A = this chain, B = another copy of it.
Amino acid sequence: MSRSAVSRTFTEGASVSPEVRRKVLKAAQELGYRVNRLAQGLNNASSNLVGVVGANLSLPFIAKQLDMLSLGLLRRGQQCLLLNAADARSDIAPLIELIFEFRARAIVVLSGEPPASIVDECLANGVKLIVINRLLERSDTDVILSDDILGATLAARRLTDARCRKVAVVTSGSGTPTQIRRAEAFGRIMKDDGIDVVGWHDGPTTYETGLKAARELLADPAIDGAFCVTDLMALGFLDAARHEMGRSVPDDLSVIGFDDIPQASWKSYELTTIAQSFEVLTEAVLAALDHADGQSVIQNVPVTLVERQTVRR
């Protein structure tokens, strides 16, 4: 009969007699009553929303992350408040402010770089901040990183095994930390091996950028290998190499990518690439949500070489 009875009926483990419980449920059914999550959040000073910030949600790599993350959150009983940052370079601070206003438990950043002031605010308000594949030089944030150094090493070793003489490294012009780490590590190793490396970077992280890279780089007939730090660019690179620049892959050109997006295994490409496990990555994010407030971790997601058909044996 009292409002407390209602609350207790819908609260796990509260003390209600079976009879009252039954009456409440029946009344709720008739009146179309539903718990109000806004009021719950107001009362607890925290909703169980998790803010997710991302840009270019239709790119395969991001879309896959978002798919698995939103599913994982839902399974854990948390809801996903999705904010689209529109552009990889756009300022995500206002979006994070918005998430604060919803009293979210945690914030996951897939794109863009949260400014230091925001990081401080998260810390002050007890909001978990988790960034994926972007390097924050702070020890008070959870950072999930693909093992870029290992990945670059695997790629480099594979291209030297294929006896490449002059290789290109293709990055986008966006200059995300992950891409730079991959490219730099790769360049260092190759130079140590005494192999010519030519860097290239321009444009957004898209298929079209890969096309452009191949058109410009393959004007040099000496180039016989390429490491594209993103599968999407690798696929564009492959297409331009084969259909416009007349190269035969893998016979006179070896190409290797990074991420292992679904399209990489399509029959027209069979791209050899460095795979990050989306499962492990998602698990790492979900695990980070459970960390205590002070505890923050930099976690490396393991990578493996997936051997397909674009590198000479």
Contacts and interface: CB of A to CB of B under 8 A. Distances in A.
Interface string A283-295: 0000000000000
A102 interface: yes
A275 interface: no
Contacts of A236: 266
Contacts of A124: 32
A198 interface: no
A136 to B, nearest CB: 21
Given A34-B100, A38-B41, A207-B266, A63 B57 contact: yes
28 contacts: A34-B97, A34-B100, A34-B101, A35-B101, A38-B42, A38-B103, A52-B82, A56-B67, A57-B63, A58-B63, A58-B64, A58-B66, A58-B262, A60-B63, A63-B66, A66-B66, A74-B83, A80-B81, A80-B82, A80-B83, A81-B82, A82-B82, A238-B268, A239-B268, A240-B267, A242-B267, A243-B267, A243-B268
Interface string A72-110: 001000011111101000000001011011110000000
A200 B207 CA distance: 32
Interface residues on A, range: 35 or more
Contact of A84 (B38, B80, B101, B267): B80
Q: How many copies does the complex hold?
A: 2
Leading 4 A-B pairs by shortest Cβ distance: A239-B267, A63-B63, A57-B67, A268-B268
Contacts of A58: 60, 63-64, 66-67, 262
A244 B102 CA distance: 53
Nearest to A121: B32
B207 A262 contact: yes
A2 interface: no
A36 interface: yes
